[in-house]
A and B are shown apart, each in its own frame.
Chain A
Amino acid sequence: MGHEHQGKKFEEFVYGILDNPKKTLIVFGLVALFFVGSIMMFPTKIVLAKMLPGKSTNTFTVYIDTPNGSSIHQTKAVSECVINIFQKEKHVTDLELFLGQGSPLDYAGLVKGSGMKMGEQFAEVVVNLTDKHSRDEKSFNMVQRLRPILKDKCLPIVKNTNIKMIEMPAGPPTLASIVVEVYGKYNQKVIELSHDVAKILQKTDGLVDIDIMADESYKKYQLVPISDKVSKSGLSVEQVNQILYLAFEGMGVAVKNTIELNNQISIFVSLSDESQTMNSNTLSALKAKLSQLSLMNKNGMMIPLTEVVAIEEGESAPMIYHKNLKTMVNVVAETDMVSQVYPLLDAREKMIEYFSDKYEVSKVDGITTYMFDLKLKDKTNGEEYLLRWDGEMKVTLDTFRDLGAAFIAALILIFLLLVVYYKSFVLSSIVLGGSFLSIIGVIIGHWVADLVTTETFFLTATSLIGFIALMGISSRNSLLLIDFAKSLIQEKDIPKRRAIAIASATRSKPIMLTAIAIILGSALLASDPVFGGLGVALISGTVAAVIVSLIFIPILMDKTKDI
């Protein structure tokens, strides 16, 4: 039979390697070469690591933040510019604009504070696309393509506007891909420092949508009621305050109940738009407007408002942000289709260089998930600041750390299980070591996938999960092999070397079959943007695992005396 013949051939092939020390050495050398070669792909950046890849979706959101103190009309102008650009896109079905507020909450908005937005400086545009299956351009490619156009055209409309394009995260949502937390004692200093940090991030390749999550200061006028003048004119401070509010903000003064409608109708009094509008944002214009407003005192006399209040000009006080009781400002950035790891390291280098002029820069010792943090100490007055990396990077490090620990735990557990089963440390080590070699396939697979795809194919958290699963799969191959060889030696009295060859020839069929099943089963996964890493890891890792268990494991089995 054909199969039998092939089996015999393979048996002889394996036996040939086992019987010839030179060939054995070649196999050892090749395995070592591949192993070192594939591991080296990390530091040489041939294979890039990332937490989770982008996910093509049918919708994304544009956050528009005009500077604090902007009017709704200014925000609207920027939003309309954004909408105009999207309306020309052929895959856009409709756009929703939410002015002065956030859009209905979604997964991304939950952590980005979209639900808390309220004010004239905020707007969100939800872009709904045609179904992802019937569209060739992936949503993240579209975002990447339109981002520069959007910023070019719409940012200049209102100075200091920030536009961010928010995609649905593939994994758990984070505040941003890159978050730099600037800690310090004084809010004003922290804000200044965060501007420097933002500048550096701006200069770093691969980073976009940089934003400082602090208030901009803007010109503000303070009306101060002069108390003795107020009381001399027969007015009260409360009355003054109320009238001012009523005039420019308006107030519901009464309600009308209705029978037909659900809600009460409020009667709202304010000055008309024309009466409110000032000629310019200057002190004199404000004064002119206020002088027109008069109050009636107890005696029925009309007193102009400017008589009883003084106008002071000043800067608005920025918001003070605390995280865990410490004053802090966030600087956030998104990555433009690249992993956040490399721009982060890049930006960190630049920061060390930039800040060493004015500050003593020190790094954090040891390996923790905060290992990229920088400590700054002002050379002139000794004030200390901390730059801490958070956001997706932190989640990535935490997850890879936990997955790594999970992986080591898995190795120990499997080892113990094998020791219990075989009652031999050597055999257990062979099985485990053989399984570990499947990493060669995983890395080479990612490299090949990166070569054949147009976008960068990252080694992601799902690849790591695939690799962990592979450990089990390839140990199964070795197990079946060792068991079979053992029973051949014990029951049929076949010499060890021949028994190993027969075993690997006989077991090659089920090993191949299960491997093909895994490869075919994962083939559909490989094209998925999120689970692609897993698919590729399983496919290429399985190929490596088969080769290792059919050729390399027999050599190790031959060398040990435990069989």
Chain B
Amino acid sequence: MKEKDLSNIKVTDSAGKLARGFLYNPLTAVLAIFLLAIGYISLEVMPREEDPQISISGGSIIVPAPGLKPKEIEQIIVEPLETKLREIKGIEHIYSMSMDNVAVVNVMYHIGQNREISNLKLYDKVMQNMDKLPKNIMQPLVKPFDIDIDIPILGIAFYQKDKSISYPQYLETIENLKKDISAIDSVSKTELKGEHKEQYNVEVDLAKLKGYHLSLGQIVQGIKSIAVRVPSVNAPTKNNELVIFGIKNAIDSIKDVENIMVAQYMGSPIYLRDVAKITDSIDIQNKQSAKIFFKDGQSYEQITLSVSKLAGTNAVFVADDVKELLDSHKETLNKLGISYTITRDYGVRANDAVNELVHHLVITIVIIAVMLVFFLGWKESLIVTFTVPAILAITLFIAYMGDQTINRITLFAFLLSLGLLVDAAIIVIENIHRHMHAHDSEQRDIDELLISATDEIGAPTNVATLAIILTMVPMAFVGGMMGEFMKPIPFNVPVALLASLFIAYIFTPYLGRKLLHRSEDGAHQHTEKEAN
């Protein structure tokens, strides 16, 4: 259709101006498609996670002080350290624990402090004041903690269904798998829990020791003297060639340990195996263990591999990548008698949350559309229905640009705005509908009617929407963890509402012109021709 001169239509408000500007603009349709496209892309690529990322900075300072009692530790380590840490700006709480042999000081920064800077400040403060700490303690350990990196998104429990391979081999397989998983994009930290190391255990029998008149010290000496490692040695020959020879490890297998001679008793050698039980097994001094119990009563010793993701990355993608890698290894693992079960999957949970949003949206849009069919007619209903995805598309895109992720709380913000964002379109379409069905509508030009109907409710709708936006904005200033948790609401709801205004003013009259006709068709045709 040829563009008409609409500038003679009197408008008073931005609503009318937008309606007039886009009514015949060929780009309006392109804009609509473009908006829907960026919205869809944003929905697909935006990082998904279950809980929002809260930037909590803090750290632990662990000071090992063997042999000191809690009271001593409190006085000579904790108190000087605490007073010095107080000097750091931005710290909210300092917690300390003075225990036997060790001091732990935990520092929590105020929410929203820059993490890297906070960590550096903490490290700096401790290092600067090393001289204030007593001399007989060990080097303090400064360990920052980080909510994004520290909380694993995936947990995989490995267990041996049959013991066809030895524990070291089993552990080796899992550690290799762990290495492969660490190499996946966006995986930050992989950790094993419940794993034991291979170890040669020499369990000395006290009675036999006494019988041979041996001391524990002798046994230790005996083992130490043979388990040395020497680098390769070079020696020149007569014609200056190099001869390289290595010295073979004296201990190569469990047999070598068994055959260590610890002493002589009445002329005959005493071997280690005579006084101790020697086994090639796991670290028995490590009391930590993990087990998995199934519904059917079966239980296995397990090793949990936990996988964390980098901040700002998509939990769904990372989890999928890891699961894919596991699947590709499933056969090999099965052959080795290793089974696994996924015990934690935040990827699925994040995905569920997002899909639930989309599901809710669709249902709500359908319900609202059906309702509007009854009150206004199916074409009007169609127009309002179109505006919802368009508004959400803009909101999603802006959220994506603002480095937000799709999580439970952004979902909450969208659901909250859902009931609000159709309002502008409903008000516009209702006013157009009312004007079209008014008695004097036959005398009016259709374009003029659309534009002035939009213009008429523009001012109060603008003010009202602004009022809703104003109610949301102060929420951005709620402090503490809860404030941080709710941040997506004051960020996204106003954007959605603003978008709803633009969409309502631009697309409702535009689609109205394409779809809606006045009650008397003849009158409509007539005015069209006249205008041309």
Contact = CB atoms under 8 A, between A and B. Distances in A.
Interface of A: 58-59, 72, 83, 87, 92-101, 103-107, 110, 115-116, 118, 120, 126, 128, 171-172, 239, 243, 246-247, 249-257, 260-263, 265-275, 292-296, 302, 316-325, 395, 398-399, 402-403, 405-407, 409-410, 413-414, 417-418, 421, 461-462, 465-466, 468-469, 471-473, 475-476, 479-480, 482-483, 487, 506, 509-510, 513-514, 516-525, 530-531, 534, 538
A459 to B, nearest CB: 16
Given A171-B485, A262-B172, A403-B478, A105 B150 contact: yes
Interface string B210-234: 1001111111100110010100000
B26 interface: no
B485 A480 contact: no
A266 B193 contact: no
A395 B210 CA distance: 63
Nearest to A113: B106
Contacts of A482: 460
B206 A292 contact: yes
A510 B461 CA distance: 12
Interface in B160-187: 168, 172, 175-176
Contacts of B485: 171-172
B481 A96 contact: no
Given A96-B302, A323-B93, 8 more contacts: A292-B207, A293-B206, A322-B74, A410-B471, A410-B473, A413-B473, A514-B427, A517-B423
**Interface of chain B, helix or strand or loop or mixed?**
helix
Given A104-B191, A105-B151, A479-B463, A94 B292 contact: yes
A7 B480 CA distance: 50
B415 A509 contact: no
Contacts of A465: 416, 475, 486, 489
A516 to B, nearest CB: 6
B294 interface: yes
Interface residues of B, number: 138
Contacts of A410: 470-474
Interface string B417-433: 01110110011001100
B465 interface: yes
Given A272-B205, A322-B95, A418-B463, A292 B457 contact: no
B412 to A, nearest CB: 6
B151 A106 contact: yes
A399 B478 contact: yes
A473 B292 contact: no
Interface stretch (B17-25, B38-46, B134-142, B280-288): B280-288
Contacts of A472: 420, 464-465, 467-472
A473 B427 contact: no
A87 B287 contact: no
15 contacts: A97-B290, A100-B289, A103-B193, A105-B306, A110-B151, A116-B60, A172-B54, A272-B277, A399-B478, A399-B480, A405-B477, A421-B463, A465-B489, A472-B470, A520-B419
Contacts of B168: 261
B360 A524 contact: yes
A173 to B, nearest CB: 8
A366 B530 CA distance: 75
Nearest to B83: A325
A405 B97 CA distance: 37
B292 A265 contact: no
B423 A476 contact: yes
Contact of B97 (A101, A269, A321): A321
Contacts of A414: 467, 470-471
B82 interface: yes
Given A104-B344, A253-B224, A406-B474, A324 B93 contact: yes
A73 to B, nearest CB: 10
Contacts of A96: 157, 290-293, 302, 304, 343
A243 B217 contact: yes
Nearest to A266: B199
B37 interface: no
B191 A267 contact: no
B467 A417 contact: yes
Contact of A522 (B224, B419, B480, B484): B419
B293 A317 contact: no
Contacts of B276: 269, 272
A247 B216 contact: yes
A106 B206 CA distance: 45
A48 to B, nearest CB: 19
A248 to B, nearest CB: 10
A275 B181 CA distance: 43
**Which of B203, B376, B477: most chain A Cβ within 10 A?**
B203
Contact of A320 (B70, B200, B217, B218): B70
B482 interface: yes
Contacts of A254: 223-224, 227, 251
B198 A261 contact: yes
Nearest to B79: A325
B74 A483 contact: no
A103 B155 CA distance: 10
Contacts of B35: none
Nearest to A106: B151
B220 A246 contact: yes
A324 B459 contact: no
B132 interface: no
B204 A269 contact: yes
A28 B316 CA distance: 55
B96 A538 contact: no
A513 B51 contact: no
Nearest to B306: A104
A20 B284 CA distance: 91
The 8 A-B pairs of least Cβ separation, nearest first, read A472-B468, A476-B464, A521-B419, A518-B419, A254-B227, A406-B474, A275-B206, A272-B203
Nearest to B367: A520
Contacts of B516: none
Interface string B364-375: 100110011001
B420 A473 contact: yes
A172 B481 contact: yes
A318 B99 CA distance: 7
Given A93-B295, A325-B83, A410-B471, A266 B200 contact: yes
Contacts of A417: 463, 466-467, 470
Contacts of B202: 267-270
Nearest to B428: A510
B78 interface: yes
Nearest to B368: A517
Interface string B247-273: 001011000010000000000000000
